[in-house]
């Protein structure tokens, strides 16, 4: 290993343990920093102590244009890459590998704010009904999965990662234990609809049909009795939304709709922040723009003197 490669591996090991990054995030960091290493090696930099501010600034520009020989990155991906690079340099300074942080002046690219897409409650209902179409255990599982995702705002990875013991169905105490980014736990209450559907799973899911799932702790199972994957859950939603005639729906659409519908119903933004598991309320506040747009539209079409 070169010095740069060794320093990269030390940093990745650090963030994996200290920050509890998911496997997907860690893989993205590795790709980002590997590209940075190749860029620096092309400039004959042997370790981070030899890197200059100009090197970092040039790299930040190169990844957006592809001048380094790699694929040009979209603003969001370029911003993530710069964040990874800055984190590595801060770590190097703390470890004593260098005497200054040459990345401190390089800022991530501004990412255009994209408002979350939310669908109406009628569209959600249509998707849930479509998910329960058919006979056997699969439609029960599919309806229960989508009901729970919409009822809790869970990320799809959080939902498929649920175990039976994470669900509390005692009357008046219905809730689910979700494990978010960095394995941070949060307990989210669930309503009657979402509580009723999972409660039907133990008697009808593949685990009771002799398919090899006996003894697995997973709440949502595939047809072989193993834990349902994120990809399979995505297909379940895609198929249900297609049958319901609701286009362009992704797993995050239900999460966005959960937040938007809560705020539209008068929920406090900090409560929604806790339910979504956002570390900062700033992340949650993007949903307030969605509800404000809806309010303005209603006002413009309903008030007799809204238009001069």
First CA to last CA across the chain, in angstroms?
Answer: 71
Q: Which of 23-37, 127-141, 208-222 has the lowest mean pLDDT?
A: 208-222
Q: At 127, is the pLDDT very low, low, confident or very high (cuts 50, 70, 90)?
A: very high
Catalytic annotation, pick one of 252, 270, 296, 299: 252
Active site residue 89: no
Active site residue 261: no
User: Which residues, at least 6 apart from 304, have a Cβ–Cβ distance to it below 8 Å?
Assistant: none
Domains and CATH numbers, the chain: 3-95 (1.10.150), 121-300 (1.10.443.10)
Active site residue 36: no
Q: Please check the confidence at residue 46 and state whether its pLDDT lies above 70.
A: yes
What's the pLDDT at 200?
59
Catalytic annotation, pick one of 35, 89, 143, 255: 255
Active site residue 200: no
Active site residue 255: yes
pTM equals 0.57
Catalytic annotation, pick one of 143, 155, 207, 261: 155
pLDDT tens by residue, 189-232 = 887 777 776 655 543 333 433 344 456 788 898 888 889 999 99
Q: Which of 23-32, 41-50, 176-185, 201-210 has the lowest mean pLDDT?
A: 201-210
Catalytic annotation, pick one of 35, 141, 261, 278: 278
pLDDT tens by residue, 143-193 = 999 999 998 889 899 999 999 888 888 787 888 899 887 778 888 888 777
pLDDT tens by residue, 252-277 = 888 888 888 888 888 887 888 888 88
Catalytic annotation, pick one of 11, 29, 36, 287: 287
Q: Please check the confidence at residue 86 and state whether its pLDDT lies above 80.
A: yes
Burial pattern 114-142, b for ≥16 Cβ within 10 A else e, equals eeeebbeeebbebbbebbbeeeebbbbbb
Active site residue 155: yes
The total of other beta-carbon atoms located within 10 Å of residue 227's CB is 18
């Amino acid at each position: 290993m070169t010095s740069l490669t060794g320093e990269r591996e030390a940093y990745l090991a650090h963030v994996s343990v200290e920050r509890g990054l998911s496997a997907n995030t860690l893989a993205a960091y590795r790709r980002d920093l590997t590209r940075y290493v190749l860029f620096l090696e092309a400039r004959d930099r042997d370790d981070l102590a030899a890197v200059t501010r100009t090197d970092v600034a040039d790299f930040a520009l190169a990844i957006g244009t592809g001048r380094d020989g790699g694929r040009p990155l979209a603003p969001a991906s370029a911003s993530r890459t710069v964040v990874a690079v800055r984190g590595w340099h801060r770590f190097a300074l703390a470890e004593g590998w260098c005497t200054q942080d040459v990345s401190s002046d390089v800022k991530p690219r501004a990412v255009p704010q994209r408002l979350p897409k939310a669908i109406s409650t009628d569209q959600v209902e249509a998707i849930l009904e479509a998910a329960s179409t058919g006979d056997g255990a699969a439609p029960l599982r599919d309806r229960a999965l989508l009901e729970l995702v919409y009822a809790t705002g869970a990320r799809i990875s959080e939902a498929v990662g649920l175990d039976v013991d994470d669900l509390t169905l005692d009357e008046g105490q219905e809730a689910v234990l979700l494990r978010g980014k960095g394995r941070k736990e949060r307990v989210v209450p669930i309503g009657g609809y979402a509580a009723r559907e999972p409660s039907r799973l133990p008697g009808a899911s593949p685990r009771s049909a002799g398919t090899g799932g006996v003894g697995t702790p997973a709440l949502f199972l595939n047809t072989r009795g193993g834990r349902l994957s994120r990809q399979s859950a995505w297909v379940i939603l895609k198929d249900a939304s297609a049958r319901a005639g609701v286009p362009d729906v992704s797993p995050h659409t239900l999460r966005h709709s959960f937040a938007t519908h809560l705020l539209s119903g008068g929920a406090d933004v900090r409560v929604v922040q806790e339910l979504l598991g956002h570390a900062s309320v700033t992340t949650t506040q993007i949903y307030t723009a969605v509800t404000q747009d809806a309010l303005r539209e209603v006002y413009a079409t309903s008030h007799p003197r809204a238009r001069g």
